[in-house]
Structures are given as structure tokens and as C-alpha cells.
A = this chain, B = another copy of it.
Amino acid sequence: MSHPVPDVLALHGVVPPLVTPLDEHGDVDRRSLERLLGFQLEAGVDGVFVGGSSGEIALLDGRQRRAVVEVAAGTVAGAVPVLAGVVDTGTRRVIEHARDAARLRADAVVVTAPFYVQPHASEIVAHFRHVHAAVDVPVVAYDIPSAVGARLTPGVVGELAEAKAVVALKDSSGDLASFREILRQADLPALTGSELLADTALGLGAAGLVPGLGNVDPHGYVRLYRAMRDGDAGAARAEQDRLAALFRIVSVADPGRIGFTAGALGGFKAALALRGVLACPATNLPLLPLNETETRTIAAHLAEAGLGEV
């Protein structure tokens, strides 16, 4: 049961935030999750992130959350780091989740600013420091203002890095100027969550990529990352352009009918089902499913991007 311990202190490369496959009863579909993990590892990813926003973390109950970490840690078996999202509103809630994740052998936990409450920057710093002090697993900071309302500013990230309270940053702020400032100043690996500025962020010094679209096309992001690593910006850019066209799958759903999250995550899952990786494209309660027309549009985008069944 012992396996190599991945070095999360040197987090880098492609680390997709995996969707959480569900069966038709709404339970975690362990077989599909294993298949997804295998598909990712075969593509050459450098880590996996389960229980992130793409993993519907906000919609999973405790049993689902634990199942996901357990399957991921068991399947990956130390080949690459397994990051587990422990997204919750407050410090104590996050610590509870983080201890669960550590027990289930996650290599790091991914933590956002507190939400529901309206924290001051100094309270955001305190949140991360308390989580760090309470758990026996490295903490990755996750900046996602579209979901939590607050920002992790360059000042906050710098303070956390200096205190060694966090070992890395996932930036999903959409604000590349602020991300660049963090790259300039903070002494920690910073990864971008952007699907559309992956080559750009790497060019600015990002350590890696956490693209939701990497669920559907990990080979594409691995090629992009390696091209940048090898100094071939032109090849990376061509790959990025192809992936930008594919990214339209997150916005095929009718915003008059279902929500943004349902459309985006439903788009990833529909594409993975069409590619034969997931048995079923279901999302969790209370998200509504894509309809047939929308699914056909996704199939067309896959075909255009040259992606078939795996």
C-alpha cells in the first residue's frame, strides 16, 4: 500500500481539475472516475485535482467527497500528486474536510478564501494560516472570486508564501495583470486556471495549468505545456487556438433555461461521455442537464477539434 510520495512543493505542469462522474442514481461512478484518471495519466498530466469547482465540490455530500479522494489516491498511486479541493465557507469547516482528505492520502488540499461571510484581507490571511497550522498536508491557495466574492491579492498571496502557509497558488481570477504581479513577487509556484491564456501564463512564469477543459482534451494541454517548456511558442499558440475553439462547449447551453455552472460542467461531462470516458453525463443536484440539441452541438465541436472516442 506504500507508494512514492509526490513532491507537491514543486507543483508544475498540467494538473486538470477533474469532473466527478456520477451514475444514473447520482452516486459517484467509481469505474468512470478510474477511467478518467487513467485517461489523464496516459495523456501525461503532471497531477490531478479532484473536488475542485469542475468537480462540483459545492454540490457533493461527504460520502461523494470521500469517494472521489479515495478513488483518486488509490488509482494514481503516487504516480503524480493528487490535489483535493476542500472548499467551504469557514476555517473550521475547511479543516474538517482537509483532515478527511489527508487521511484518504491526498497529497495536498486546495483552499479558497472564506465565503458567505464578508472577510477582510487580514481575515483571509488568518484563514489560511489556521488551516495550515491545523492539518498535516500541504495547502494550495485557490483564487476564484467569481465563486467566493473575495480576491487573493498579490499582497495576501505574498504574505502566505512568506509564512509558508501555502505551497502553491491556483489562479482563476481572470486577472492576468494581478497574476503577473504575484509571479514577480511571491516565492511559490503559481498555476493558472485559465483555459484560454495557458501559453501566455506559462510565458509569464506560471508553473503550470489547471484547465477545466483539460478533462476533455488533456493531450492538448500536455502538448501545449511541453511546447512552452521546449521554447516552441508557435506550436503552443497553435494548440491554444485549437483549444479556444473547443472551449465553446462550455457555452452551448441556453442561459434562459439552465445556469452557467450547469452549462459549463454539463458541457465537460457531455464531451467526456461522447468520447467514451464517462458512462453517463449526469451532473449533481440541483443542476439541470443539457438537452439533445445542446449535446449535438458539443459533438460537433469535438469533431471540429479532432477529438473522437478514446
Is B286 a contact of A93 with CB atoms below 8 Å?
Answer: no
Q: Does A25 contact B (CB under 8 A)?
A: no
Is A288 a contact of B92 with CB atoms below 8 Å?
Answer: no
Is A197 a contact of B177 with CB atoms below 8 Å?
Answer: yes
Among residues 129 to 177 in chain A, which have CB atoms less than 8 Å away from a CB atom of chain B?
A: 130, 146-149, 174-177
A260 to B196, CA, bound (A): 30
Contact partner of A120 (CB less than 8 A), chosen from B56, B257, B285, is B257
Q: Which residues of B contact A56 (CB under 8 A)?
A: 90, 117
Is A122 a contact of B92 with CB atoms below 8 Å?
Answer: no
Q: Which residues of B contact A120 (CB under 8 A)?
A: 255, 257-259, 262, 288
Contact partner of A61 (CB less than 8 A), chosen from B64, B96, B114, B257, is B96
Is A285 a contact of B90 with CB atoms below 8 Å?
Answer: yes
Contact partner of A284 (CB less than 8 A), chosen from B90, B124, B256, is B90
Q: Which residues of B contact A184 (CB under 8 A)?
A: 241, 244
Q: Does A308 contact B (CB under 8 A)?
A: no
Is A91 a contact of B286 with CB atoms below 8 Å?
Answer: yes
Known: A123-B262, A184-B241. A177 touches B204 (CB 8 A): no
Taken together, the copies of this chain in the complex come to 4
Taking the nearest CB of chain B, how far is it from the CB of A258, in angstroms? 5
Q: Does A119 contact B (CB under 8 A)?
A: yes
Taking the nearest CB of chain B, how far is it from the CB of A132, in angstroms? 12
Q: Does A105 contact B (CB under 8 A)?
A: no
Mask of A283-307 contacts with B, CB within 8 angstroms, 1/0: 0111110000000000000000000
Q: Does A62 contact B (CB under 8 A)?
A: yes
A152 to B64, CA, bound (A): 28
A217 to B106, CA, bound (A): 48
Is B64 a contact of A259 with CB atoms below 8 Å?
Answer: no
Is B58 a contact of A114 with CB atoms below 8 Å?
Answer: yes
Known: A58-B116, A244-B181. A130 touches B93 (CB 8 A): no
Is A61 a contact of B181 with CB atoms below 8 Å?
Answer: no
A284 to B181, CA, bound (A): 31
Q: Does A279 contact B (CB under 8 A)?
A: no
Q: Does A115 contact B (CB under 8 A)?
A: yes
For A112, the closest partner residue in chain B by CB is: B116
For A123, the closest partner residue in chain B by CB is: B286
Mask of A88-127 contacts with B, CB within 8 angstroms, 1/0: 1111110110000000000000000011111110111011
A/B interface sample: 5 pairs, CB < 8 A: A56-B117, A59-B92, A116-B148, A177-B196, A180-B197
Measured CB to CB, the residues of A under 8 A from B are: 53, 56-62, 64, 87-93, 95-96, 114-120, 122-124, 126-127, 130, 146-149, 174-177, 180-181, 184, 194, 196-197, 200, 203-204, 241, 244, 255-262, 284-288
For the complex of A and B, the 7 pairs showing the least CB-CB separation, nearest first, are: A59-B90, A58-B89, A61-B92, A120-B259, A91-B285, A58-B116, A126-B286
